[in-house]
Structure 1
Amino acid sequence: MEISGIISAIVIGAIIGVLGRLVVPGRQHIGVFTTILIGIAAALVGALIAHALGVDDTKGVDWIEWLIQIGLAALGVVAVDRARARH
């Protein structure tokens, strides 16, 4: 992977993480860096799921892929927030 691919993965992951965090109601007790990491993971896993479903390469914006990624980021934010609340 080239440096431009890494930078774009970080930027897209940050956007996905923030969008996932916005979907979750209430206050989350996780930091920005954790949100970005969750977003990067959700973007990568969501891209794999979209590819497996065959919806990753459509004409125009890949809305279904974005929705999968944002949903995964929201689940990740909830999971990490709840795990931190227990400690």
Structure 2
Amino acid sequence: MQEAQVGWIAAIIIGGFAGWFASMFMKSDTGLFANIILGIIGAAIASFLFGLLGVGFAGWLGYLVAGFVGACILIAGARAVRG
């Protein structure tokens, strides 16, 4: 069975929303470009971490959830490094 894949344009849009939701949730003041980057990289990190646990996400909703969780992890990590 084939998995539903998210295209590049959809990844940017969904990543932007995921990063924006995460920045609102974590009360982080980031801009639009940073939100998109947080969402896309966060989705990759969260997908990897969830994959280690045996959990898989598919489609745009899965990408949004993974992006949100990953972006929250990235924001928390950046705060920990900054102090």
TM-score per shorter chain, which class? 0.5 to 0.7
| TM-score when normalising by structure 2 | 0.63
Q: Which residue of 2 aligns with 1:74?
A: 72
- Partner Cα distance (2:13, 2:39) in 1: 9
Distance 2:22 2:52 in 1: 22
Map 1:1-87; keep pairs closer than 5 Å.
5-25=7-27, 28=29, 30-57=30-57, 62=62, 66=65, 69-78=67-76, 79=78
Give the superposed CA RMSD.
3.0
Percent identity between the two aligned chains: 25
Number of aligned residue pairs? 73
Gaps of 5+ in 1: none
TM-score with structure 1 setting the length: 0.61
Cα offset for 1:9?
Answer: 1.4
Larger Rg: 1
Gaps of 5+ in 2: 1-5
